[in-house]
Copies of this chain bind each other. A is one copy, B any other.
Amino acid sequence: MSNEKKIPYKIYLEESEMPKAWYNLRADMKVKPAPLLNPGTGKPLTAEELSPIFCDELVAQELDDTTPFIEIPEEIREFYKMYRPSPLVRAYCLEKKLDTPAKIYYKFEGNNTSGSHKLNSAIAQAYYAKKQGLKGVTTETGAGQWGTALSMACSYFDLDCKVYMVKVSYEQKPFRREVMRTYGASVTPSPSTTTEVGKKILAEHPGTTGSLGCAISEAVEVATKNPGYRYVLGSVLNQVLLHQSVIGLEAKAALDKYDIKPDIVIGCAGGGSNLGGLIAPFMREKLRGEADYRIIAVEPASCPSFTRGTYAYDFCDTGMICPLAKMYTLGSSFIPSANHAGGLRFHGMSSTLSQLYHDGYMEATSVEQTSVFEAAEQFARVEGILPAPESSHAIRVAIDEALKCKETGEEKTIVFGLTGTGYFDLVAYEKFNNGEMSDYIPTDEEIAASIAKLPHVN
């Protein structure tokens, strides 16, 4: 207990202690994640095939599964210093409220205007685009977290930024849209008449409010048809997990400063970018047999790719124009129930995390949204941060694990990722406050139906 006193509420690294290289999880995996396939030929995609879509340097990072540490360019490290290191917070108040002997820490990524960890990869992708002499980048955004982060990054490097925002979000989340515009991005509701694919979809479904898959298709079309543009993506890809490793590297360095060894590491999982980043250095030790940790992925019960999906090749987008990736998937035609409030709506999961899960290196669990918002509220009231619904999935399981410790008397150390803030999710909080929130768990039949539509790939 006297040792304990020394641990501050927030552990900050000095600038000199910040990571100078990202960690590439794949380098230490004995079984590598399956390669991306060309949907036309069924063969692994080459750098040449990927270069019209992504920046050259990012293509190299995407395909590199052998280099363990990749230097973070000086310019990106300078930008990181504006909002990083992010604090590793000891949740003293939550522990007290739960009356648990567990020690709870969270790595908080919400202290920047984009409100989430997404900026860690956005700035890297913008940097490489600038370095390649490009004019700009295109992307899609759903709720807007990724679009906001990318707008900030592009504004910093004076790059043009074209965001295709799912029409229903564009209309229902005008504030997200305005943040992006304040950062100078052009934001187009998708589907739009600015692309061939958009026009086609509008002709076929005149009243559609759009989907992420459609917005991806539009963004990719614009990137490939406009010289000097490339497409960027905020999750799922290996390059994104690589950039997000800064989360875990900082967290581990902060823990090491105080000789703290976590028993459990918990992260929410949609496409996997935050989870892959948070667990990276812990998984490294686990893969190398140097240490053991319980690593838990938490997904929404309404979109349970790890816990109820199948491990197979599938399209990354609903429009089926993107490469095929081997992953735990519910099928690219799966759409989570409209009553699902937060993000974490992707039908599949990062190939890297899928392989690790398949090989038994991590666990996965799913939680229902009402209990997620209960955890969010409990956390907010004692820890003073209004968490994003996505992050609150991890809070839910961290609280559950801490309560188990209360029963058993174990003093486990729990670390979880608090990926962002909920300032733009207050419509969902309002529903919860009014007792109008409900849960929806897809039936076996629903999941079987979308899985039946998986592409036939060996």
Which residues of A are interface residues toward B (Cβ below 8 A)?
8-10, 12, 14-15, 81-83, 93, 111-113, 115, 119, 152, 155-156, 174-175, 178-179, 181-184, 377, 380-386, 421, 423-424, 426, 429-430, 432-433
Closest Cβ neighbor of A386 among chain B residues: B113
CA distance A430 to B175 in the complex (A): 8
Query: What is the bound-complex CA distance between A8 and B85, given in angstroms?
Result: 12
22 A-B interface contacts by CB (under 8 A): A8-B81, A9-B82, A82-B93, A82-B383, A83-B384, A111-B111, A113-B380, A113-B386, A152-B381, A155-B381, A174-B426, A174-B430, A175-B423, A179-B386, A179-B429, A181-B430, A182-B429, A182-B433, A183-B380, A183-B381, A184-B381, A423-B423
Q: Do the beta carbons of A384 and B112 come within 8 Å of each other?
A: yes
Distance between Cα atoms of A423 and B420 in the complex (Å): 14
- Is the beta-carbon distance between A156 and B384 smaller than 8 angstroms? yes
Chain B residues closer than 8 Å to A382, beta-carbon distance: 155-156
Contacts of A93 in B (CB 8 A): 82, 156
Within the oligomer, what is the number of copies of this chain?
2
The listed residue (B12, B15, B113, B377) touching A421 by CB distance below 8 A is B113
Nearest residue (CB) in B for A377 is B182
CB-based closest 6 A-B pairs: A175-B426, A9-B81, A423-B423, A113-B386, A155-B381, A178-B430
Given contacts A181-B433, A183-B380, A386-B182, contact A12 B12 (CB under 8 A): yes
CA distance A413 to B195 in the complex (A): 50
Per the bound structure, the CA–CA distance linking A175 and B15 in Å amounts to 36
- A152 proximity list for chain B (CB < 8 A): 381, 384
Q: A184: which B residues are within 8 A, CB to CB?
A: 381
Complex Cα distance A381/B159, Å? 12
CA distance A119 to B385 in the complex (A): 12
